[in-house]
A = this chain, B = another copy of it.
Amino acid sequence: MRIPTRLKVKMNAKAQPSIIPRSLDAQVADLLRNEILSGALSPGSRLLEVDLSDRLNLSRGTIRSALQQLTYEGLVVQFPYRGCIVAGLTAQDAWELYTLRNALESLAARLAAETMTLEKAAVLEAALQELIQTTKTADWQAIADADFALHTTIFQLSGHRRLQQQYQIVGHQIRLYIASCNALQADLPEIVAQHIDLVKAICSGDANLAEQIAREHNTEGQALIDQLQAVEDNPAQDPPRI
């Protein structure tokens, strides 16, 4: 038997992004994730392995692997022997997502503040300015992107890989919900003001304050949950789309 002594991670990525070998199933997962988050595949849509393998000219095994990955990420739900559908979120799910994000972000804000430097502050400020710019437009998709980017930046600055990873997953599910309901009708000026406060606190290096602000700022989430709860209680149009 051959026993390799080296089994280490390659650290030299990013140099030639076009030559990075990425397994086919990972690429399929990326593709489907984009289609789901952009709304091209709406919640409840069936994901047939044969259809996908025909469309992408890949075998069913590769598709299956991608669907399994997306199931872990909470964007797809699997039913044994019956197939996969794009996840649809209930009020309970929305509540879980926003409370979980809140807890994660409190920790991220604290850690980012504790390790704040001038460079980090500049990066964070840039993300904030980007969000402020987009809010002056009515492009909700762009606003959601900028919002997600700002939060992602905070998690990156925390230096906590698992925290980043978790936020990525939770954030994707939140975007899935927003995309599916065309919600996000929250109070923009209020949201912007809260983000400014949060960034300011993190950049100041006051970990306690940053954590506290991150924990208390959750208006978008609450607004969305309330709206979703109202829709569920009122069975007017059962399938919003499809």
Contacts and interface: CB of A to CB of B under 8 A. Distances in A.
Interface of A: 3-4, 7, 9, 21, 23, 46, 61, 64-65, 68-69, 72, 74, 79-80, 82-83, 85, 92, 96-97, 99-100, 102-104, 106-107, 111, 160-163, 166, 170
Contacts of A82: 4, 7
A41 to B, nearest CB: 15
A7 B4 CA distance: 47
Contacts of A61: 61
B7 A100 contact: no
- List the number of copies, as a whole number: 2
A122 to B, nearest CB: 25
Residue among A64, A72, A96, A162 with the highest chain B CB neighbour number at 10 A: A162
A79 B10 CA distance: 9
Residue in A7, A103, A106, A161 whose Cβ sees the most chain B Cβ within 10 Å = A103
Question: What is the predominant secondary structure among interface residues of chain A facing chain B?
Answer: helix
Contacts of A3: 46
Given A69-B68, A79-B7, A166-B166, A107 B100 contact: yes
A137 B26 CA distance: 48
Contacts of A106: 103
A52 to B, nearest CB: 15
Contacts of A162: 74, 96-97, 100, 170
Contacts of A170: 162
Given A9-B79, A65-B65, A103-B103, 6 more contacts: A7-B82, A7-B83, A96-B162, A99-B160, A103-B107, A162-B170
**Which 3 pairs, one residue from A and one from B, show the smallest C-beta to C-beta distance?**
A103-B107, A72-B72, A96-B162
Contacts of A104: 103
A17 B70 CA distance: 28
B68 A160 contact: no
A22 to B, nearest CB: 9
A161 B170 CA distance: 13
Contacts of A68: 65, 68-69
Given A65-B68, A68-B69, A80-B23, A100 B166 contact: yes
